[in-house]
């Protein structure tokens, strides 16, 4: 397993001057790995959802390989397809976009200081099991947090990753023909007041936390992406990239 090569091959497309069509072309032309990793910088939600859908179709049709997108979003609240709209409170800032999506789960928040990962992964090449896939995503996050001395865990019956009784990473996915899209949102240092206008993931009895709340040292987004990439490779048992 060539970890150093994996880090070198994280494709950096964070230049905001790149159009979505240019980004898609770069991704389509990536070498044929089991999973490729791409960093998109900070992007608004709707265009990236459109890009996800395009890549998802390509992966379903086996014209490109599985791809993980890493990025930050501009401020946005999103609903899962069967979400309770009452979980977004009327006090939410009205200048923030609200998007109804096709993922699972309830309402969630994305914004600067939060690293979003969209693994568009063909489970036909791994294991055709939704529960295995969700537990694998959680494992990637738990291992990554452990790399920085944060002890995280799962909670029975709840999706995501927790530090004690506070959620640090939310998850919601969609699968079609065993190809996944959407994914996870890991709190690095978001503005926590944006959570005050919602019931995150519909869970009222627990709180929300972030990496910055647990560590005195700042960790760059680049380092977190490197750790996530390594732990994806380990968890999905990719022998070479």
Instruction: Compute the average pLDDT of residues 208-219.
Output: 91
pLDDT one-digit tens code per residue, 18-27: 999 999 999 9
Please report the pLDDT score of residue 104 as a whole number: 86
Element (H, E) at 4: helix 3-8
Whether residue 240 has pLDDT greater than 60: no
Candidate list 35, 201, 221, 230, residue with the active-site label: 201
What are the beta bridge partners of residue 181?
174
**CATH numeric code, 3-235:** 3.30.930.10
Q: Is the pLDDT of residue 200 over 90?
A: no
pLDDT band, very low/low/confident/very high, at 201 (cuts 50, 70, 90): low
- Domain boundaries defined on the chain: 3-235
Looking at residues 188-216, what average pLDDT do you find? 86
Told to judge if 201 belongs to the known catalytic residues of this protein, a careful annotator would answer: yes
pLDDT in tens, 84-123: 999 999 988 888 999 999 998 889 999 999 999 999 999 9
Reported as a single tens digit per residue, the pLDDT across 126-178 is 999 999 999 999 999 999 999 999 999 999 888 999 999 999 999 999 999 99
Handedness of CA 98, 113, 175, 159 (dihedral sign): negative
Question: pLDDT tens digit string along 20-55?
Answer: 999 999 999 998 888 999 999 999 999 999 999 999
Mean pLDDT of 54-71: 96
Supply the pLDDT for residue 7.
Answer: 63
CA distance 7 to 139: 19
Closest C-alpha among 23, 39, 31, 22 to residue 65: 31
- CA–chain centroid gap for 190, Å, is 15
For residue 241, pLDDT beyond 60 = no
215 burial level (CB within 10 Å; 0-12, 13-18, 19+): middle
Q: For the chain, how many residues are written?
A: 241
Residue predicted with more confidence, 240 or 207:
207
Residue 213, C-beta contacts closer than 8 angstroms, at least 6 positions apart: none
């Amino acid at each position: 397993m060539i970890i150093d090569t994996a880090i070198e091959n994280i494709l950096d497309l964070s230049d905001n001057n790149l159009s979505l069509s240019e980004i898609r072309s770069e991704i389509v032309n990536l070498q044929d790995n089991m999973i490729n990793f791409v960093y998109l910088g900070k992007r608004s939600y709707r265009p990236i959802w459109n890009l996800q859908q395009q890549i998802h179709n390509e992966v379903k049709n086996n014209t490109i390989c599985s791809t993980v997108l890493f990025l930050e979003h501009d401020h946005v609240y999103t609903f899962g397809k069967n979400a309770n709209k009452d979980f977004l409170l009327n006090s939410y800032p009205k200048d923030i976009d609200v998007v109804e999506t096709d993922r699972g789960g309830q309402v969630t928040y994305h914004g600067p200081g939060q690293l979003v990962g969209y693994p568009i992964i063909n489970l036909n090449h791994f294991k055709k099991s939704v529960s295995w896939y969700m537990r694998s995503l959680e494992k990637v996050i738990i291992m990554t947090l452990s790399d920085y001395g944060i002890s995280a865990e799962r909670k029975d019956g709840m999706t995501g990753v927790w530090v004690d009784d506070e959620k640090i990473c939310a998850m919601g996915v969609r699968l079609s023909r065993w190809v996944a899209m959407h994914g996870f949102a890991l709190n690095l240092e978001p503005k926590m007041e944006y959570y005050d206008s919602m019931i995150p993931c519909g869970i009222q009895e627990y709180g929300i936390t972030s990496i910055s709340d647990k560590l005195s040292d700042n960790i760059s987004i680049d380092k977190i992406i490197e750790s996530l990439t390594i732990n994806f490779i380990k968890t999905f048992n990719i022998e070479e990239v």
